[in-house]
Chains A and B, each alone.
Chain A
Amino acid sequence: MSTVGALLLGLPLAAATLIGILHRRLSTRTAGTLAFAMAATCFGLAVAAFTHLRGLPEDARHVAATFWSFLELGRGDAALTLDVGVWLDPLSVTWALFITGVGSLIFLYSISYMEHEAGGARYFACLCLFLFSMLTLVLGKNLFLTFLGWEGVGLCSYLLIGFEYGKETAAQAGRKAFLVNRIGDVGFLLGMFWTWKLFGTLEHGELTPKLAAGLAAGIALPPLLALCYFVGACGKSAQLPLFVWLPDAMAGPTPVSALIHAATMVTAGIYLLCRLSSLFVAADWALDVVAFTGAATALFAGLIALRQRDIKRVLAYSTVSQLGYMFLACGLGAFASSAFHVVTHAFFKALLFLGSGAVIHALHGEQDLWKMGGLKHHLPKTAFAMRIGAFALAGIAPFAGFFSKDEILGVAFARAYAGDPACWVLWGAGVLTAALTAFYSARMITLCFDGSSRLDAHSHPHEAPAPMAIPLNVLAVLSLVGGIGLGFEALHWLPLHHWLAPTLAPLDLPPLPGALLWGLMTLAFLIAVLFWRIGAKWYSGDCEPARAAELTFPRFAGALAGRFFVDEIYGALIVRPLRFLAALALQFDVRVVDGAARGLGQFAALVGTGVRIVQNGTVQRYAFWMVAGAIALLWLALG
Chain B
Amino acid sequence: MAPQSWYLIVSALLFGLGIVGFVTRRNSLVMFMSVELMLNAANLVFVAAARDHVPARGSACALFVIAVAASEVAVGLALVLALFRLKKSVDSDAVRELRA
Assembled-state Cα–Cα distance A611/B24 (Å)? 23
The verdict on A552 contacting chain B, using a C-beta distance below 8 Å, is: no
The verdict on B4 contacting chain A, using a C-beta distance below 8 Å, is: no
B23 near A623: Cβ-Cβ < 8 Å = yes
Assembled-state Cα–Cα distance A612/B97 (Å)? 13
Shortest distance between the CB of B13 and any CB in chain A (Å): 16
Which listed residue, B19, B23, B100, touches A616 by the CB 8 Å rule? B100
B22 near A617: Cβ-Cβ < 8 Å = no
B24 near A620: Cβ-Cβ < 8 Å = yes
For A608, give the chain B residue with the smallest CB separation. Answer: B100
The interface residues of chain B lying within 8 Å CB-to-CB of A617 are 95-100
A611-639 interface code vs B (CB 8 A; 1 in, 0 out): 11001111110011001000000000000
B26 near A620: Cβ-Cβ < 8 Å = yes
B65-100 interface code vs A (CB 8 A; 1 in, 0 out): 000000000000000000000000000110111111
Assembled-state Cα–Cα distance A611/B96 (Å)? 17
Assembled-state Cα–Cα distance A294/B43 (Å)? 106
Shortest distance between the CB of B60 and any CB in chain A (Å): 25
Shortest distance between the CB of A611 and any CB in chain B (Å): 8
The verdict on B31 contacting chain A, using a C-beta distance below 8 Å, is: yes
The interface residues of chain B lying within 8 Å CB-to-CB of A624 are 23
Which listed residue, A608, A612, A618, touches B93 by the CB 8 Å rule? A618
A612 near B100: Cβ-Cβ < 8 Å = yes
B99 near A616: Cβ-Cβ < 8 Å = yes
For B92, give the chain A residue with the smallest CB separation. Answer: A619
Shortest distance between the CB of B79 and any CB in chain A (Å): 11
* Contact (A627, B19) CB under 8 Å given A616-B99, A617-B95: yes
Assembled-state Cα–Cα distance A616/B92 (Å)? 13
A623 near B95: Cβ-Cβ < 8 Å = no
Shortest distance between the CB of B91 and any CB in chain A (Å): 11
Assembled-state Cα–Cα distance A620/B97 (Å)? 14
B23 near A620: Cβ-Cβ < 8 Å = yes
A615 near B24: Cβ-Cβ < 8 Å = no
Chain B contact residues (Cβ within 8 angstroms of A): what range? Answer: 10 to 19
The interface residues of chain B lying within 8 Å CB-to-CB of A608 are 100
A623 near B93: Cβ-Cβ < 8 Å = no
Shortest distance between the CB of B16 and any CB in chain A (Å): 10
The interface residues of chain B lying within 8 Å CB-to-CB of A627 are 19, 23
Assembled-state Cα–Cα distance A615/B97 (Å)? 11
A616 near B22: Cβ-Cβ < 8 Å = no
* Contact (A619, B97) CB under 8 Å given A624-B23, A627-B19: no
Shortest distance between the CB of A613 and any CB in chain B (Å): 8
Assembled-state Cα–Cα distance A459/B24 (Å)? 96
Shortest distance between the CB of A179 and any CB in chain B (Å): 53
Interface residues of B in 1-42 (CB under 8 A from A): 19, 22-24, 26, 31
The interface residues of chain B lying within 8 Å CB-to-CB of A615 are 98-100
Assembled-state Cα–Cα distance A627/B20 (Å)? 10
The interface residues of chain A lying within 8 Å CB-to-CB of B99 are 615-618
For B99, give the chain A residue with the smallest CB separation. Answer: A617
The interface residues of chain A lying within 8 Å CB-to-CB of B96 are 616-618
The interface residues of chain A lying within 8 Å CB-to-CB of B100 are 608, 611-612, 615-617
The interface residues of chain B lying within 8 Å CB-to-CB of A623 are 22-23
The interface residues of chain A lying within 8 Å CB-to-CB of B26 are 620
Assembled-state Cα–Cα distance A619/B91 (Å)? 11
The interface residues of chain A lying within 8 Å CB-to-CB of B93 are 618
Interface residues of A in 593-618 (CB under 8 A from B): 608, 611-612, 615-618
B19 near A620: Cβ-Cβ < 8 Å = no
The interface residues of chain A lying within 8 Å CB-to-CB of B92 are 618-620
Assembled-state Cα–Cα distance A161/B97 (Å)? 61
Assembled-state Cα–Cα distance A388/B76 (Å)? 103
Shortest distance between the CB of B35 and any CB in chain A (Å): 10
Shortest distance between the CB of B81 and any CB in chain A (Å): 17
Q: Which of B22, B23, B96, B97 is the most central at the interface, judged by chain A CB atoms within 10 Å of its CB? A: B23
The interface residues of chain A lying within 8 Å CB-to-CB of B95 are 617, 619
For B98, give the chain A residue with the smallest CB separation. Answer: A617
Assembled-state Cα–Cα distance A612/B95 (Å)? 17
A–B Cβ pairs within 8 angstroms, 5 of them:
A608-B100, A617-B97, A619-B92, A620-B26, A627-B19
Chain B interface (Cβ < 8 Å from any Cβ of A): 19, 22-24, 26, 31, 92-93, 95-100
Chain A interface (Cβ < 8 Å from any Cβ of B): 608, 611-612, 615-620, 623-624, 627
| Other 9 A-B pairs with CB < 8 A, given A612-B100, A620-B92 | A608-B100, A615-B99, A616-B99, A618-B93, A618-B96, A619-B95, A620-B22, A624-B23, A627-B19
